[in-house]
Structure 1
Amino acid sequence: MTQYTLALHAAVGGVPGNSPADAYFALTPPMEQALRQVLLESIDFLGMVTSSDVDQMQGQVVDVGASALFTGRKAAGRFIRPITVDGNQYALKETDSGVALPWDLLSIWANAGGNEQFMQLVNAFTTQAFALDMLRIGWNGTSAAATTDYTTNPLGEDVNKGWHQIAKEFNGGAQIISTAVTLGAGGDYVSLDAMAADLINTKIPAEFRDDPRLTVLVGADLVAAEQFRLYQAADKPTEKIAAQLLANSIAGRKAIIPPFMPGKRLVVTIPANLQILTQRNTRQRKVEFVEDRKQYENKYLRNEGYALGYRELYAAIDESAVTIGTGE
């Protein structure tokens, strides 16, 4: 059995062959760490953000992503610069994840192999589902409703406030460009390089602009439009090369297309500046086969929320402001 599978079973509080628990059970600190590690490893981008535990439902965000100057001297003593946390607060909300696997799907999976393979399929499916939801909410969350509606808000818009919403509410939304802009020939920006460069130069503080970790997070629609433009000019070798490299580099910076980020949104930040915070000792798991509903249910309850380590280090062009030009 792989270490990955063992971690999964440890995270749900059991081992292969054991019956699921009949009630919610709290995870011990080692189990909490195992569960968090499995979630982070299941989705590449999730491993780039900061995922940490906190003690309180509300508190001060600790900046772990910025790289301000921490070196100097003091004539009358030692030079030291504290990490600033004043005014940057997080607020966690009850967060409940639950996957129901119906009997017909269980029947297929159960016949796909032995008990160990069956448990691997179930755990891999639910772990990835929970991890992807963390990103859905992080990029699209705007509020925290008492009762959420996944039909009306399929991207978790009403589960919690995500990173973009937090930035919108900081300093009057000064870090977010929300005025109408057009990408394309004859528009405000002729290319994604120009759009990202302007965002960096106008919204990212000067002390962070040369940080090698600064990353352009770009929506899939913007990348597709830019690649189309570049391939239209593919008779030029430089344009063809640029189109091929677009998914990896924009404006001389590393570029990533994060899962579930709106297609026309452009963000510049350090990925570690994006935080997912969970209250320590609140993780509860329950796995059971519910006979009345003829389904296997895997549930994960905790207090969780989102934060920006250094809010000035998140700059974005809001998707609602972007028009992709035709290039005509």
Structure 2
Amino acid sequence: MNKTTRKNFQLMLATQASIYDVKAVTVPFTVTPEKEQRLIGGMQQTDAFLKKINMVTVDNMVGDSVIIGVDVLTAGRTNTKLNDRKPNLVHNGKVNGYSCQQTNFDTALEYAQLDAWGHKPQFKQIVSEKTMRANSLSLISMGFNGTSIAADTDIDKNPLLQDCAVGWLQKLKNRNSDNYLDSKDIVITKELNIDVLVNQTKNSLGEVEKHNPDLIVILGSELFEHNKDRLCAENATKPSEKSKTELKQVIETFGGLPAYGVPFFPARGILVTTFENLSIYIHSGSMRRRIEDQPKCDRVVTYSSKNIDYVVENLDLMAYIDSSKVKFEGES
């Protein structure tokens, strides 16, 4: 670490100690609830997807889901001469349990990286954003790929953090397997196209949930590319249409639903739900941090952990076609 970087690094440590109201951030400390909210808010700002879903703190490490959407119909009549009126709950009464488990988000920045930014006035901001962005992407990857919680995780065997958490898709498979569509291979053709598959997925939702006006579809990157390739082929002789396709001004809905691409979502997966139905619970008071200079390794390490869990608020409001079951016509 060169002299300028070292000076800015020391200033960054002092600033962070002031922000977190601790003597030093080079020794382990617990983040206060107020600062937790700031960190969560900052993390959400690093990714468009995280902005749309719920990231909430909960007082208990284990409990029942806390966000309840309106997913029932409430109209009716009662003959009050015979019976009392019975108000309807504004949710379906099915509550999902959660259990927040400690998850580490430890990051390292080499001296060479820090030196590249060390002369810049926004040094602290750059370091913070790089670290927070990496943590945000990890949260997303676990949410869509996590299948288990290992005592000792293995990044080489599980590069998408499959063994760090039980994510949303696995929660659906475990708790509402009827809506996890993986019983047979699906071949995409002109007739059985992505629009048709999205509509079929939507129809797997509960009878009331399938009419939710906030429904969206999250598609894997290969499905977006397949649709783009199809449009390019169909419009190859129409310059204006080809230009729109290249500018990604293509169909923004599939099966009548707004379509979104999300980092680390399975490449051929199709998920129909609402953003509000996806949550990350963070156990309040569980955030712990420490920054350590490691000159023997020519790097600076930020040790960070928090207790988290992934929650599908209403399992009847979520349906998924398993990415591994989707094929393109002509594939063996």
Distance in 2 of aligned mates of 1:43 and 1:283 = 20
Amino acid at match of 2:200: D
RMSD over equivalenced CA pairs, Å = 2.9
Match of 1:126 among 121, 126, 131: 131
CA contact 1:63–1:83 (8 Å) conserved in 2: no
Question: What SS does structure 2 have at the residue aligned with 1:52?
Answer: strand
Q: CA deviation at 1:144?
A: 0.3
Distance in 1 of aligned mates of 2:91 and 2:31 = 31
TM-score scaled to structure 2, two decimals? 0.85
Q: How many residues align?
A: 311
Change (3 A) 1:318 1:12: farther
1:41 alignment partner in structure 2 = 45
Q: CA deviation at 1:11?
A: 11
Question: What SS does structure 2 have at the residue aligned with 1:122?
Answer: helix
Max Rg structure: 2
Deviations 1:38-86 (A, max 9, x none): 0011101011111111122222123434533345565434624154554
Question: What are the ranges of 5 or more consecutive residues in structure 1 without an aligned counterpart?
Answer: 1-7
Match of 2:264 among 260, 266, 272: 260
Distance in 2 of aligned mates of 1:227 and 1:19 = 55
CA contact 2:172–2:315 (8 Å) conserved in 1: yes
Match of 1:281 among 285, 306, 309: 285
Change (3 A) 1:10 1:262: farther
Matches within 5 A, 1:240-319: 246=250, 248-319=252-323
Amino acid at match of 1:314: M
1:79 alignment partner in structure 2 = 87
Distance in 2 of aligned mates of 1:31 and 1:60 = 25
2:231 alignment partner in structure 1 = 230
Distance in 1 of aligned mates of 2:251 and 2:283 = 35
Question: What SS does structure 2 have at the residue aligned with 1:185?
Answer: coil
CA contact 1:247–1:257 (8 Å) conserved in 2: no
Mean CA deviation greater in 234-243 or 93-102: 234-243
Deviations 1:235-276 (A, max 9, x none): 589987996555621111111011110110000000111110
2:209 alignment partner in structure 1 = 208
Identity, % of aligned positions: 27
Question: What are the ranges of 5 or more consecutive residues in structure 2 without an aligned counterpart?
Answer: 1-11
TM-score scaled to structure 1, two decimals? 0.86
2:142 alignment partner in structure 1 = 137
Amino acid at match of 1:309: E
CA contact 2:209–2:316 (8 Å) conserved in 1: no
Change (3 A) 1:239 1:166: farther
Distance in 2 of aligned mates of 1:270 and 1:281 = 29
Q: Does 1:199 align with 2:194?
A: no
CA contact 2:217–2:273 (8 Å) conserved in 1: yes
Q: CA deviation at 1:183?
A: 0.7
1:5 alignment partner in structure 2 = none
CA contact 2:271–2:318 (8 Å) conserved in 1: yes
